Structures are given as C-alpha cells and as structure tokens.
Chain A
Amino acid sequence: MKISKDTLKNISLLSKLEIEKSMKEKITKELESILLMVDQMNEVDTDHVKPMSHPLSKAQNLRKDLVSEDIERDEYIKNAPQSDDGYYLSPKVIDQK
C-alpha cells in the first residue's frame, strides 16, 4: 500500500497532528511497511464471518443513573493548562465584527 502525499496530509489533518518536513519521508515509509504487514489479512476469506468488537461478545453493563460521588470542580480544573474562575480558557473561537 502506497501512501501518497495527499493521503498523509489528509490523515494528519484528521489526527490534528503536524508532521515535520524532515520526518515526512521516514513516517511515510514506516506507515507503508506497517500497512504492508496489515495487508496479509487479505489472504483470509472472511465473507461469512460476523465482526467481533468485544472479547466476550456481551452487551455492555449500564449502571443506575444515580449520583455516586461529588465532583470537586476546583480539583478537576487545577489540571487545566489555563483557567479562570472555574472556566477553561481557550483561544477565541467567535470573531467580533
């Protein structure tokens, strides 16, 4: 599987990752070699197989929707890189006209 420049650009855009110019060739080669290994899957006929997403094929448990503990807002917000008065701060997203 070849990874074109456009494909690399597209997946890094979707991943919100920037790949340094000097790394592009190396990353492309490595991704191609991983996909080449992955492509071995095509040797297997899987036409009538149901895909499996959970190792024990069980429905997921749901707990009762009850308050189990109090969440300390200040404790959580302490980890924010930037906050103000209990609010998370981010760069401005709405333009002022």
Chain B
Amino acid sequence: MNDIISLNLEDQIGLLETKKISSYELTTLYLENIKENKDLNCFISVNEDALEQAKVIDNLKDRQSPVQGIPIAHKDIFCVKGHRTTCGSKMLENFISPYSSTVFEKLENSKTIMLGKTNMDEFAMGSSNETSFFGKVKNPINPLKSPGGSSGGSAAAVKANLCAFATGTDTGGSIRQPASFCGITGIKPTYGRVSRWGMIAFASSLDQAGIFARSALDSAIALEIISGFDEKDSTSINSKVPNLKEETTSEMEHSIGVPMQIIEKIEDVNVKNNFLESIKILEKNGFKTKQIELPFLEYSLPSYYVIAPAECSANLSRYDGIKFGYRCDNPKDLEDLYVRTRSEGFGEEVKKRILIGTYCLSAGYFDAYYIKAQKIRAMITESFKNAFKDVSVIAMPTCSNGAFELGSIQDPVKMYEQDIYTIPANLAGLPAISIPSGNTEEMPLGLQFIGNHLEEGKILNISHQFQKLTDYHV
C-alpha cells in the first residue's frame, strides 16, 4: 500500500479514476507518512480537515478535474482562507488569512486535498531553509544536509512522499535550487503566468509561483491548473494557457543552447562533468546543441541583490504591528511600537535585506544602485532575447554544488552565490525548470532548462524527453 504514495501523478489519477483507491485512503496514507516523518520538519501546519474533505470528494458523482482527490501540499506563503499562513516568520505566527490566494483556489476548485502548509525560509529569504522561525527542514536523502531554500519544505515533502505534488515560489531560485538538492523536478513558469494574488510578497517584480513534482509530466499537469490570467494581479499575463500535458509529451524538435563560457568557469569538477554528461546524453540521442553566448550574465547576482532587497524593503514596510501580525508588548508610543514590533518580529536575514534595500533606495544612492541594477537587468534580458533567436531552450546546471551540510555556510555572500545559475531567469522573467541529473557525493544534482517567455511547454518537453532517457528522477 505504501508504494502508492510514491507513484507518479498519472498512476495515482488512474487508481482514483478506476476506484481502485479512494481519495480518503490516499489522504490517510499521506497523513500517516507525514506523522512518521515529523523529524524532517517539512510542515508548519497540517490540515485537520483533510480527511473530511477527501470524504466529500469521494462522494462526488463524477470526476470534474484530472487531479480530483489528489492530496497536495502548499508552501506556507500562499494565503488560505481560515487557515494560518506564517511565511516562516514570527511576524505572522498567528495570522489567519481572511482570503485565499488564486493558486490555492485554482487547486481547491480542481478538487485537490490540502494536506498542510510547508516550511520555508522566513519570507522566502534564504537558500538553505535555516532562516525559518519554525526551525530548519532536513533533506530526506541525508538529514544532516540542507533541502535548499526557500521552498525547502515543499521540495523535501515531495521527495519523502508526504504529498503527491507541492506548490512553491521562486524569486531567485527558491523552487529550482531545492528541487536540485532533493532530487526532484521543480518548475518556475514565466513571470506573470501564475497569479501572485494572495501570495505573500517578497520582491514583486521577481516572485513567481510554481510546482514541485516527481517528474516533468507531473509538473505539467499541476502547472496547467495554476496558470492563467487573473485580473486581481496587475502583472498577470493575459495569454491562453496551452495544454501543457500535450506539449510535454508531443514530438518536438529542439536546439539546445549551451553557454560554454559559463560552463567552463564551474569550479566543482563533479558539477561540471555531470552537466557535460547530461548534454552528451542528449546529443547521443539526436538532440542538436549549439554553443551560445550570454553576455553580462555574471552580473546577475549583484543586480539581483539590489533589486530584490529594494523591493523587499518596500513590501515589508506593511508589518507595522497595527493591522495584523506580531505586536511588541507595552509600547511607550507609536514609534516604539513600530521599531520594537519589527525588530522582535523579523529574523536576522530579513532585517539584513531590509537594511540593504533601504540603503540602495535612500537619497543619494538610488541612481548608483537601483537604477544601475535595473539597467543591468535590461542588458541580461537582451542577452537571452538574442540567444533565443537561435535556440529553443538553454541548458545550465541548477546550482554550483550539491546539498551542503546544514549550518555550514555562514558568510551571506557565499549563501547568495547558491543562486548564480537560477537568478538570471528571474531577472528576465523566463520560465525555467530543474530536473535530477545524477549525484555528487551521494547527493543529487540538477539540470536546468530555461525557455523563452511563455514557452513552458518547450522546457517541459525537453525535460520529459531527458527523463525518458534516464532514471535519475525515479
């Protein structure tokens, strides 16, 4: 019976459709496994109504959606009406959402069962899951290692079979890096493809919701559900969502762009060889590859660490201790209330980013930092635009290393460097996916495909074809 929880989505859907298993039974199995794996600390809260909901769904006369009755997990950044949404912070420890995010609603309307809400770095700021107020998440493959961040709880939950798939968010790599560390598939779609309504904001021009699953095909099924125009999000794209499952499995020719100048600079020999090996597998099976240049890509990290903190400092100004969230005890006046609420409610990493953002936006520094970073962002986007004239997808490693030991990275810049290969897609708003491509020192490595705007189908297709040729994902 326990094998059922590790089946891919299509097989689980098949069992539900033929009534070989009920949603109630499937939900029970996942809840039991969540309990057994409590030590991984994947969940901040477990949904007490999950079994009741499964019962209701089992009693529906017909199937209204492909994922009907599938138990899933949501990153605790998505507001769910009547449920606690903490964003991994003491600031929102007791916050009960008065409305639901579009991502949650779309999956709820598709009759999925929410098992619970997953742990994450505080306000999605971190690459190791160590900044969560609710404690770090452990990597299911080796509990001494980090699951990556910020969506580490969702990634670890999928890997440990605590849910069929999970939602996540990616501002600079927060889906792809944990997917890589946990050996699963994680996709961040085009900026604007999925509504940000009800998703707690970190850096609004970079934040994008996506999916963690066991394969590219599973991701395609789930991503299609959460995608689509939403008038509640002013940056949502009004473009038809294609049938992603069909695009993923269709016959598609690819020309894969490989930025050799970047690959040659990879310091970790295992990571470099693993990437080149993946490219060889594709070439051997008839896929065309092409060397490309992506000028200015090395300036992604500095540009990101101005833009993201600047937007974070503005977004997080809403936490004032008045309307919702934490408030300090016995404030002596309004200023004292603001300062102590924020100083006590935010963790160290969040405070650091607010300070950096405030510095970059302050009088006298705005042009030198913020405008300069936005200009570099434009140049990086242009680099991609030019590259996509010749190729259909771009391949890169997801991360410059495998999962590191929890507590082993103390230097903030070293931690930020975790995202050097993932940040460029966020800056340019491009869709990108990470799929397992092998191991280094017994921990998984990820292969990343970046696509042109709105071309999620192409990166899902090449990922699916790679997964048909390899078994790193099973």
Contacts and interface: CB of A to CB of B under 8 A. Distances in A.
Interface stretch (B216-224, B365-373, B399-407): B365-373
Interface stretch (B47-55, B103-111, B174-182, B300-308): B300-308
A78 interface: yes
Interface stretch (B114-122, B242-250, B324-332): B324-332
A11 B359 CA distance: 6
A10 B363 CA distance: 11
B170 to A, nearest CB: 13
A60 interface: yes
Nearest to B429: A55
Secondary structure at chain A's binding surface: helix, strand, loop or mixed? loop
Contacts of A19: 343, 351
Interface string A30-69: 1101110111111110100111111110101111000000
Interface in A13-35: 14-19, 23, 27, 30-31, 33-35
B248 to A, nearest CB: 23
B381 interface: yes
Nearest to B350: A17
Given A11-B358, A56-B429, A51 B305 contact: no
Given A17-B342, A50-B375, A27 B192 contact: no
Nearest to B417: A37
A62 B236 CA distance: 10
Nearest to B321: A81
Contacts of B98: 72, 75-76, 78-79
Interface stretch (B19-27, B227-235, B276-284): B227-235
A17 B351 CA distance: 8
Nearest to B305: A38
Given A18-B340, A55-B205, A55-B428, A44 B359 contact: no
A92 to B, nearest CB: 8
A13 B30 CA distance: 48
A88 B355 contact: no
Contacts of B238: 61
B453 interface: yes
A15 B355 contact: yes
Nearest to B237: A56
B263 interface: no
B96 interface: yes
B337 A55 contact: no
Nearest to A33: B413
Contacts of B342: 15-17
Contact of B375 (A11, A15, A51, A58): A51
A65 to B, nearest CB: 12
Given A50-B378, A91-B331, 13 more contacts: A8-B355, A18-B343, A19-B343, A37-B302, A37-B416, A44-B299, A51-B377, A54-B429, A76-B98, A79-B323, A81-B327, A90-B334, A93-B334
When A and B form their complex, which 4 residue pairs have the shortest distance between CB atoms, in order from nearest? A55-B429, A51-B374, A81-B327, A79-B324
